[in-house]
Amino acid sequence: MPEGISNEGIGASVRRKEDKKFLTGKGRYTDDISRPGQLHAYFIRSDVAHANINSIDTSAAAKADGVVAIYTGDDVAADGIGGPICGWVVPNRDGTSTHEPPHPILAQGKVRYVGDHVVAIVAETLEQAKSAAELVKISYEELAPVVDLAAASSGAQIHDGMAENRYFDWELGDEAGTEAALNAAARVIKLTVRNNRLIPNAMEPRAAVAEYDDISETYTLYTTSQNPHLTRLVIGAFMLNIPESKLHVVAPDVGGGFGSKIYVYPEEAVCTWVCKKLGRPVKWTADRTQSFLSDAHGRDHINNVQLALDENNRITGLRVDTLANLGGYLSAFAVVTPTYLHGTLLSGCYDIPVIYTNVKGMATTTAPVDAYRGAGRPEATYLLERTMDAAAHEIGMDPAEFRRLNFIPKDAFPYQTAVALQYDTGDYEAPLDRALEMIDYKNFEARRVEAAKRGKYRGIGLSSYIEACGIAPSAVVGALGGRVGLYESAVVRVDPTGTVNVFTGTHSHGQGHVTTFAQIVADKLGIPIGNVEIIHGDTDRIPFGMGSYGSRSLAVGGAAISKAVDKVIEKGKIIAAHLLEASEADMEFRDGKFTVAGTDNEKSFGEIALAAYVPHNYPMDRLEPGLEETAFYDPLNFTYPAGTHVAEVEIDPATGVVEVVDWACCDDFGNLVNPMIVEGQVHGGIAQGIGQALLENAHYDEHGQLLTASYMDYCMPRADNLPSFKVDYTVTPCTHNDLGVKGCGEAGAIASPPALINAVINALSPLGVTDMSMPATPEKVWRAINDAQASAAE
Amino acid sequence: MPQINLKVNGKEEQRTVPDNTLLVDFLRETLGLTGTHVGCDTSQCGACVVHVDGVSVKSCTMLAAQADGCDVTTIEGIGTSDNLHPMQEAFHEHHGLQCGFCTPGMVMSAIEFVSKNKNPSEAEIRDALEGNICRCTGYHNIVKAVQSAAQKMGG
Ligand code: FES
Ligand code: FES
């Protein structure tokens, strides 16, 4: 590494290149964009959960001040506009496929959740559109709502031709083998676990600005998207039926996503559809209540778990039966999240000889449910890690030791699980040991005694998780019902002066790619990171991309960049050999220099770049001028981050408030490119997980009204709800990408809810409490304490 | 429609605005100062915090007309990219931001807080930021940033 840049390469905690614009208010989010002459769209949403639409009268609204146009489902149907599509389907147990009902962008004939899009009003100002909305009369014939997941199959039919409100009934694993293991077990641990429904709540609400240029006949859509190319594909090819080349999608600065901005939603499609009809740009921005009502929600599973143990406390089998609530329509990843991203993770970090799972994806009259930070993996980890604690409790073994006993040993990799995945590498004891040491696990009892003197219940809980990141490879994804490839693209364009532009198909909405990716390129090319620009989020500039979700950006997108840089270096070697009149086989590239092995004949990277663009002395018979390479990288496997999180809590019996007093975690993300950024990702994930475990819950009443539709009712974690976190790492590099990286964005949200609930139950276990559902709100905890005390007194 | 006179980031502004225009909309749409963000409609998130006569205010809860005669400072008036305010610098140094959407409001709230409390404890900082939501960072690094800025700003 040349002088002066040794602190910028892979492994350095480089300060983020992207910070200054955000810190000074110069970020450019979608709602910051306004186009001359723009109109404003406002959506009238259903205020009932389930109803036939008898009539919609827009006549008075059409005459209101400033109103330019009003659209209903009839207009959508008349123009042949399609709806959002499902990106993945799975087979049913009986061999049929997932039921995929239509999802019109404005309701046609029926509404299926509170918040469903019914009418779009376009006016000169947003205020005018909103006022006009008051004049629209919609007559509904109300139908029975279907809200209770456990009873959804016997509820009123939500979609025509769909039996028992079931989108799919999927299975994985060996049912007969698992039943045999359960029958032969020395002990069977049985548990019902509910994973509460969450709302992602990226701080930036969704927004769209669409415009049409009638000279080039091109649409431009600025939108809050985690994957602009898929937005272009879905809106262009499946919804509006326009050539993809005529739709330019830009996802500028995006204020967080956490999964909710993966999908294409009706609003952005409506804006794109009508901007051409009206000949003016159309803008829409959600307010927070609209976000609560219609952003895809997360989680919402009921799991019945049976874990078989032999007389030595080794796990011999696992059966999980899951009901997954998918809401009123199937969102893009709604099917894959509770199936292939959930069922395949049920082996966790453990050596489990036989596993069977059945998942029923249910329709209810609630907002669509889809992937939210972790997507299936948090749900799997929660049920498994709660079960591990319940088992340890029942057999009277220390929960850490029970896990250790059942871990896949570190010499057993690659390890084929009973549920399809093959883990390439790992060492699960190392992070367990480190996390226990960081929290001083062995002296916990003394702290519990001390807390008791202060009248507090103190508890400790852990979870050891594994995650499958960087969903891949395309061939496997396709065989399992995925409708897209899961590679990533990168272009590395070297300028004549040796500076570099990198175009990546991933998308950054807070993860710091602009810095991390620049570090990779700078490190490999031996140039300062200031000479590397990372460009993302624009379909006109990037060949293709699959966006960012599932912690795929570094393991897939970063690996694609690395591969493109390798191609640049290979070409550079040929140019350098020509200039130095040496054999190509003798060329080496190190520290930014092409050198003839064993000599001091060398050319700098900048000289080679210049020669490529000023090819006066150039191997023209072999090479084209220019120095720009493209790579499409399709990984061989998922990557498998793993680790252990430990939570320590104190509970005040007078109030039921759970205070998180300490948190330690040790994760194995493979190699770290920027430890500072990785740590930030871990913090954010833990905070969302603590939110799920203690505070957050999307609550529908029995009529299907969302009672938690604002920050006054939905409890978001704030600074004073959280502790500081102790974070450390172990490293087993991924074996199948050349960076050796695994992914870190979701780990915290996956590992933390079970650790925390295990800690709460541990705190209350002296009272005889053995279960606690999420979120462990003060009221719920207070009741558990009082009920336990009352039954002890009897 | 009232006419209002106010100073925004040191610059005199004289505008006519409808009575029901919120200060945040006035800043974003009329003046084009889009650094102040809107994250909610119930005044809970703090993405819109600005200073009005030196005091932190959620600009989504104030009418533009109420700012008549006031001195308003937004994130754009705090520091520039070559000359960051110590609080901005501390957020950069301690990785106190990810997507950056909550950041302007966080920085504005934090600046007012440390101007009143030069040597805050972690608990005091967490308490002071209770009106601002960040969904990305988990607050850990924001707390560190505020603590370090407080020291630099004369703790
Ligand atoms: S926008 Fe003002 S507090 Fe949320
Ligand atoms: S940095 Fe994204 S909300 Fe705070």
Joined tokens for residue A561: 């960049």
CA of A44 to the centre of ligand 1 (A): 23
CB contact under 8 A, B135 and A688: yes
CA angle, residues A229, A233, A235, in degrees to nearest 5:
110
The CA distance from A401 to A760, in Å, is 19
Q: Which of residues 89-128 of B touch A (CB under 8 A)?
A: 91-93, 95, 97-104, 107, 122-123, 125-127
Residue A42's φ and ψ, nearest 5 degrees, are -135, 140
| Closest Cα in chain B to A125 | B29
CB contact under 8 A, B130 and A22: no
The CA distance from A188 to A183, in Å, is 9
Q: What's the pLDDT score for residue A68?
A: 98
CA of A303 to the centre of ligand 1 (A): 37
| Closest Cα in chain B to A23 | B88
Kindly list the residues from chain B whose CB atom is less than 8 angstroms away from the CB atom of residue A258. 135
Query: Which residues lie below 8 Å from residue A289, measured CB to CB, with a gap of 6+?
Result: A709, A710, B41
What average pLDDT does this structure show over A511-531? 95
Q: Work out the number of other CB atoms within 10 angstroms of the CB of residue A499.
A: 16
Considering only residues A706 and A477, tell me which one the structure prediction assigns the higher pLDDT: A706
CB contact under 8 A, B40 and A711: yes
Does A203 have pLDDT greater than 80?
A: yes
The CA distance from A89 to B103, in Å, is 39
Query: What residue spans of A455-552 are helical by DSSP H?
Result: 474-479, 513-525
Joined tokens for residue A296: 């895809």
Pocket test for ligand 2, best of B97, B107, B109, B139 (most atoms within 8 A of CB): B97
pLDDT digits (tens, 9 = 90+) for A112-146: 999 999 999 999 999 999 999 999 999 999 999 99
- Cα–Cα distances (Å) from B138 to A516, B40, B92, B96, in that order, read 20, 19, 16, 9
Pocket of ligand 2 contains residue B40 by CB under 6 Å? no
Q: What's the pLDDT score for residue A6?
A: 55
Pocket of ligand 1 contains residue B144 by CB under 6 Å? no
Mean of the per-residue pLDDT values of chain A: 96
CA of A98 to the centre of ligand 2 (A): 37
Percent of residues, chain A, with pLDDT higher than 90: 93
Q: Does A686 touch chain B (CB under 8 A)?
A: yes
Which ligand 2 atom is the nearest neighbour of the CA of B136? 2
For helices A377-395 and A399-406, angle between their N-to-C axes, nearest 10 degrees:
110
In this structure, are residues A664 and A439 in contact, taking their beta carbons and an 8 Å threshold? yes
Residue count of chain A, please give it. 794
CB contact under 8 A, A20 and B140: no
Joined tokens for residue B70: 């006031």
Instruction: Return the bridge partners of A630, or none.
Output: A491
Joined tokens for residue A608: 């080679």
Kindly list the residues from chain A whose CB atom is less than 8 angstroms away from the CB atom of residue B64. none
The CA distance from A49 to A114, in Å, is 5
Does A92 have pLDDT greater than 80?
A: yes
Does A4 have pLDDT greater than 50?
A: no
- Which ipTM did the prediction report? 0.98
Q: Using a cut of 0.80, tell me whether the model's pTM lies above it.
A: yes
Residue A171's φ and ψ, nearest 5 degrees, are -140, 160
CB contact under 8 A, A24 and B40: no
User: Minimum-distance ligand to the CA of B91?
Assistant: 2
| Closest Cα in chain B to A714 | B44
CB contact under 8 A, A25 and B99: no
What average pLDDT does this structure show over A718-735? 96
The CA distance from A30 to A285, in Å, is 9
Could you give the 3-state DSSP secondary structure of residue A208? strand
Q: What's the pLDDT score for residue B155?
A: 53
Q: How confident is the model at residue B52 (pLDDT cuts 50, 70, 90)?
A: very high
Shortest distance between the Cα of A765 and any Cα of chain B, in A, equals 29
CB contact under 8 A, A24 and B134: no
Q: Does B1 touch chain A (CB under 8 A)?
A: no
Pocket of ligand 2 contains residue B135 by CB under 6 Å? yes
pLDDT digits (tens, 9 = 90+) for A11-67: 999 999 999 999 999 999 999 999 999 999 999 999 999 999 999 999 999 999 999
pLDDT digits (tens, 9 = 90+) for A628-662: 999 999 999 999 999 999 999 999 999 999 999 99
The CA distance from A494 to A293, in Å, is 46
Q: What's the pLDDT score for residue A2?
A: 42
- The protein residue with its alpha carbon nearest to ligand 2, atom 2, reads B99
Mean of the per-residue pLDDT values of chain B: 96
